[in-house]
Chains A and B, each alone.
Chain A
Amino acid sequence: MRGFRFWGLVPAWVLMAVTLIVPVMIVVLVSVSLRGPYGGFDWGFTLEPYREILFSTGWTDELEFDPKYLIIIGRTIALAAATTVICMALALPVAYVIATRGPRTKLVLLYLVTLPFWVSMIVRVYAWLIILGNDGIGGRLWQALGGGGLLFTPGAMLIGMVYSYIPLMILPVYAAIEKLDPALLEAGADLYGSRWTTARRVIVPLTWPGLAAGAILVFVPALGTVLEPMLLGGGKQMMMGTLIQTQFGGGRNWPFGAAIAIVMMVMVVIVLLINARRAIRKEGRA
């Protein structure tokens, strides 16, 4: 159509360049800069912030391998991965049940899945703080089952994270299941597959694109999550997001915070590249 040319894209490019593209480049520069004497940073070049991730400086200035940040990074990856896997395992049956309802029920159930997502994140996490506390229903249930304190454990963080991100998994998985031809299930049964064989060999492979899309949508924000470790982890169980935040929050060590942010970004880029390759491979096969 005439009249609409590239100039319509200019505001979007300018906005993103000013708020993201240029700043992210600055973050890269800051991550190799010197730590400022009173917080902040001084321009320069050093790999010190990255070295700090692995080594700490001992009493006599010698470098000692120190796994404390690696543990945080490992915990972050483990929790994000666990969140993703649990979301997948939950989304499959739930999305399947929704997709096999009548058209009206389907709409209502989808609406119910999406609805809590609109409620403020902080309110949702706060609610779990109450539930998982020692007086809360969740906490008491856990104790009745013989568990100790539930709040301020990785388990509490995991519950909060799954709760926060599950709709991002259900929607794409639902879309994939919705597209499944019911005749395929019948064909599976017709060819002597039991229900579970059909599920394993027909449903799961065919909904794989939905699961993969959901995995990206859940994993990326889960890596950067801040509220769950701060509130449900009680600040003791640090994750990369909270680590970054403390480096900037107290104005303490900007270059180190920037370095961690870059590490997180590289992890995200790797995940996105793996996903892109998978998509390209699939296109090639089709």
Chain B
Amino acid sequence: MVDSSARLVEPAESKTETVEQAVPFRFTVTWTSVFDAFETPKNAAAVVAPMNDRVREVITVPTEPSLEPLQDSSKGRTSGDERGLQGQKTISPNRSVQWEMVVPKMVRSAPKSIRARELSAPSNHSRPALHQLPECAESSSWEDHSLQTPAIAIPNFCSLSPSFIYRVRQGSLAIKLLVVATALAGLGVSTWRHFDSTPPAAAEIQTTTRSGGWTRERVTRMDVGFNRARELVVYRPSLKATDCRFEFNWRVDAAGVGWVFRAKDTANYYAMRIKVLKPGPSPTLSVEHFAVYRGIESIRAEKVLVLSKGDPILRIRMDIAGPSFTLFIGGIAVEYWTDARLSAGGLGFFEEWHQGSDVQGVRMSFAPGTEIQRDGLRLFVNAPASGGD
């Protein structure tokens, strides 16, 4: 390969001109590194190494288990009972992770009146669990007792569920959002955020950003001459998230959708993207994932999914447990890989070339122990009652 990617360089005219003169050495210009991105047979074999629980490169994804309605998804505990692919082991998340039904504990509590008002704020997307007494009613902490009245709903889970319509079209730099309802409990975090598609005032965006909402960051590059084409839109309260689940509905379009997780900053994050390769009744999608670590973007791993049904909206779910990441489309595990470089970071989306995606019903669930920063508060998601605390 070296020889094939090489050009012979003739040395400059030698000054050692004698009868028995030295022979010039040959030097070659090589460019094998330009092709490092391409899979070698060895690498390709590693991709399908037996260790893998990973899904196959080309798969068909039946969309029969239709998209979980948001209400349903909020009701159901994500128990990991989703149907796996044939021949694939079920992805078992970290046993210590409880996605829901845990009591959050706040370091600095808000006034009760505010909490009560926030908690009782009507929301079309309110989750039934919000209005249930916590399973840990016997909790001895003062915060728990103070809120154990039927009038005040106490969240007994730790899902942070910003439901919003994230709609950014080409050329638009503003996220168009409108907060419809926010519920924040003194002892719990249960938030449904509604971002309307109508253009918000710039001040609203600023306010939202300051209050711990979504933040847009342009990925900076050091090299001159490279286009700055990527922006991260990260949910700031999730910046310290470790194990979590990220769900949203994507209205399938040609632009595709890209999201990030474990986003520590614009130079360190994991990213995934789904693109439509071939639309139609059985659309073909491309799923790729890559990591940006210390500003260097890794090689993109890509695979193709063939859906058995052309659903206009796909429910995307990402389970992030330790170094293991699993992607579900319509409840079906379609991709699994591991990477241990980044252990914590935020959730969000990314755009390239200012091509936004139509994403709705975003929902995040965090593992116990996660620190969530919202509205100036530091909230800690505790372990479930049965587990202690």
Q: Do A and B come from one complex?
A: no
Q: Which residues of A does B touch, CB under 8 Å? A: none
Q: Which residues of B does A touch, CB under 8 Å? A: none
